Chain A
């Protein structure tokens, strides 16, 4: 009987234990969410006027793996044969000749170059390309219906519901970053992953870059990484003579790059 009594007691204590367990479990589960809730409460809503987006590419770091191109294609459903971003390989030969290639925009990286044995190559480097986010963008200027526009935070975007697909912006862009979407008929280009950067996330290409060669940043924020890099490095922009005032800056830009 003692054994029976102890058995009853054990069961009673077990029943309480189960309830307690449920309580502890629920409290514990919710308490795990507390840091996220605090972080969400802390993060102020995105105010466009507090931002001027720019982009920085460190050509001395890029190793031509093509991760950025693949990430961009996956993130933004970029159609085959077109590119919102691509990587170029510059090969300066010992005889002074310069050769440039970008097989499939470096979607699969770069294969070994059998045409030029190492001894013939003086130097070689990679340059990622994307929308230059021009402050005086020719694409915005020429769009006949205002579908290409500069957002207040400095990002050049395309309103797909307004675009008529005339292709004038494609012609006006000096950097060849625009294309007419082959299936949908509107103009398409790099948006600086606007859907991500406005939520505090990095662009898909910069998140995928294994060497930190590229990133978007707030030029208005004196403490931002882009400002720190611009303040501490020599950089250039593409085709400055055209007066487009790009906000995409290239560290270690070589004169051969256009």
Chain B
């Protein structure tokens, strides 16, 4: 149920707005879909655009995307007032609603990712099906759809299919996440959300968070396996991360600057929102700490000749900060937009509970499960090809 937090009011808030309707779960939902879209785009950079240095992480990126995608809707389900009716959104969609297309977009993308993951892993699945005996062998045979042929012809076909799906997946991934931005950007009642920029900001921040989480996982996995991290691979990802974060943060700043400069009627209320209610989470955390520092560190990494150890420190810490930056951005949009009353005369406050259905503990569990799932996928089929620099075998 919706959190009955004790809200601190400032000024005049419409009586029904004292309760924040969209909670931390709705912060988590665009965050997780962002990781999906970002990771997918990294995988496509290799599969489609032939960015060879990304080969060690390409398939892992694709599987990560799949793992996050499986849990992207869970926060929504936890949030719904009547979750048993969740499928109504697919059975009886309303054609005028921006939200109604969600089911179609999500399922299309899910189907595409599942097929692409299968084709990219087919050979490994077949190898395990041939190696394993008994029940496990049967499971792998079923996963291979009982077709155990592997030769140059099948490899070529697998490769072609993966390349085609990687190409098709880019517009769909962009659409999936841009669409989430549109859900907010199209709400004219809320001046903090209502901007056409929201679509593109969500998309770029998704790519930033997706690349950042892959870099982070790549480092952690390399450390767990006690192997040197693949330098050119992380360097390529770090360069992309720097580029995308610059565009992303520039657009985030442009959004605020344009409404500030236009001095529309809502600006008076919005400026209090930014300078008071969201000062720490937006100005300090999102912009000063988590945007400015990674911008400088990644710039240093890209422009200056450095040793690999120094690079590792710069890239790793920037990735952590940018993951926090995107989470803070989601919070500032979703929660921030609801803190300001539509009376434009007052502000409410919100602090998620710890133990309730939409509380912090559940949010932490929802966010952790995809990572555990990745570990399970790695148990099924090794996520890193044996010829990659990250070493042989599984985690």
Chain B proximity mask over A174-218: 1 for CB below 8 Å, otherwise 0? 111111111111110000000000000000000000000000000
Asked if A81 is an interface residue, CB under 8 A from chain B, the answer is: yes
Query: For A181, what are the chain B residues with a Cβ–Cβ distance below 8 Å?
Result: 81
Inter-chain contact A82/B15, CB cutoff 8 Å: yes
Inter-chain contact B16/A82, CB cutoff 8 Å: yes
Inter-chain contact B96/A162, CB cutoff 8 Å: no
Residue of A nearest to B1 (CB): A182
Asked if B89 is an interface residue, CB under 8 A from chain A, the answer is: yes
Pick the contact of A172: B76, B88, B189, B344 (CB < 8 A).
Answer: B189
Residue of B nearest to A243 (CB): B188
CB B388 to nearest CB in A, in angstroms, measures 43
Inter-chain contact B188/A174, CB cutoff 8 Å: yes
A145 and B16 in contact, given A166-B80, A174-B188 (Cβ under 8 angstroms): no
Query: Could you say which of A8-16, A19-27, A100-108 contacts chain B?
Result: A100-108
Inter-chain contact B12/A146, CB cutoff 8 Å: no
Query: For A102, what are the chain B residues with a Cβ–Cβ distance below 8 Å?
Result: 12, 15
Bound Cα distance A86, B15 (Å):
8
Residue of B nearest to A256 (CB): B345
Query: Could you say which of A31-39, A40-48, A118-126, A134-142 contacts chain B?
Result: A134-142
Bound Cα distance A183, B4 (Å):
11
Residue of B nearest to A166 (CB): B80
Inter-chain contact B188/A182, CB cutoff 8 Å: no
Bound Cα distance A186, B84 (Å):
12
Residue of B nearest to A84 (CB): B16
- Which residues of chain A from 230 to 255 have a CB within 8 Å of any chain B CB? 242-243
CB B273 to nearest CB in A, in angstroms, measures 16
Residue of A nearest to B99 (CB): A144
Inter-chain contact B345/A100, CB cutoff 8 Å: yes
Asked if B93 is an interface residue, CB under 8 A from chain A, the answer is: yes
Bound Cα distance A170, B345 (Å):
18
Chain B proximity mask over A115-133: 1 for CB below 8 Å, otherwise 0? 0000000000000010000
CB B4 to nearest CB in A, in angstroms, measures 7
Bound Cα distance A184, B100 (Å):
22
Bound Cα distance A62, B61 (Å):
63
Main secondary structure of the interface of A (DSSP, over half): loop
Inter-chain contact A180/B81, CB cutoff 8 Å: yes
Bound Cα distance A170, B344 (Å):
16
Inter-chain contact B342/A174, CB cutoff 8 Å: yes
Asked if A258 is an interface residue, CB under 8 A from chain B, the answer is: yes
- Which residues of chain B from 2 to 28 have a CB within 8 Å of any chain A CB? 2, 4, 12, 14-19, 21-22
Bound Cα distance A167, B79 (Å):
9
Residue of B nearest to A107 (CB): B15
Bound Cα distance A182, B12 (Å):
22
Residue of B nearest to A105 (CB): B15
- Which residues of chain B from 59 to 91 have a CB within 8 Å of any chain A CB? 76, 79-83, 85-86, 88-89
Inter-chain contact B81/A167, CB cutoff 8 Å: yes
Asked if A171 is an interface residue, CB under 8 A from chain B, the answer is: yes
Query: For A83, what are the chain B residues with a Cβ–Cβ distance below 8 Å?
Result: 15-16
Query: For A186, what are the chain B residues with a Cβ–Cβ distance below 8 Å?
Result: 81-82
Inter-chain contact A171/B15, CB cutoff 8 Å: no
Query: For A162, what are the chain B residues with a Cβ–Cβ distance below 8 Å?
Result: 85, 88, 92
Query: For A72, what are the chain B residues with a Cβ–Cβ distance below 8 Å?
Result: none
Residue of A nearest to B343 (CB): A258
Query: For A141, what are the chain B residues with a Cβ–Cβ distance below 8 Å?
Result: 96-97
Residue of A nearest to B103 (CB): A144
Inter-chain contact B93/A167, CB cutoff 8 Å: no
Bound Cα distance A229, B56 (Å):
75
Inter-chain contact B94/A163, CB cutoff 8 Å: no
Query: For B102, what are the chain A residues with a Cβ–Cβ distance below 8 Å?
Result: 144
- Which residues of chain A from 74 to 101 have a CB within 8 Å of any chain B CB? 81-83, 86, 88, 99-101
Inter-chain contact B16/A179, CB cutoff 8 Å: yes
Inter-chain contact A176/B14, CB cutoff 8 Å: yes
Pick the contact of A171: B88, B94, B187, B341 (CB < 8 A).
Answer: B187
Inter-chain contact B89/A180, CB cutoff 8 Å: no
A171 and B81 in contact, given A100-B12, A141-B97 (Cβ under 8 angstroms): no
Inter-chain contact A165/B16, CB cutoff 8 Å: no
Query: For B76, what are the chain A residues with a Cβ–Cβ distance below 8 Å?
Result: 166
Inter-chain contact A146/B94, CB cutoff 8 Å: yes
Chain A proximity mask over B254-295: 1 for CB below 8 Å, otherwise 0? 000000000000000000000000000000000000000000
Bound Cα distance A218, B241 (Å):
60
Residue of A nearest to B188 (CB): A242
Query: For B4, what are the chain A residues with a Cβ–Cβ distance below 8 Å?
Result: 182
CB B51 to nearest CB in A, in angstroms, measures 38
Inter-chain contact B16/A101, CB cutoff 8 Å: no
- Which residues of chain B from 325 to 347 have a CB within 8 Å of any chain A CB? 337-338, 341-345
Asked if B98 is an interface residue, CB under 8 A from chain A, the answer is: yes
Asked if B190 is an interface residue, CB under 8 A from chain A, the answer is: yes
* Closest 10 A/B residue pairs (Cβ): A165-B81, A185-B81, A176-B14, A174-B189, A146-B94, A144-B99, A100-B12, A144-B100, A167-B21, A105-B15
CB-defined A-B contacts under 8 Å, sample of 13: A138-B188, A143-B97, A145-B85, A146-B97, A163-B85, A172-B189, A174-B342, A181-B81, A184-B81, A185-B1, A185-B82, A187-B81, A258-B345
Besides A143-B94, A258-B343, 11 other A-B contacts (C-beta < 8 A): A99-B12, A129-B14, A142-B97, A145-B85, A162-B85, A163-B82, A164-B82, A164-B83, A165-B82, A174-B188, A187-B81
B: which residues have CB within 8 A of A?
Answer: 1-2, 4, 12, 14-19, 21-22, 76, 79-83, 85-86, 88-89, 92-94, 96-100, 102, 183, 186-190, 337-338, 341-345
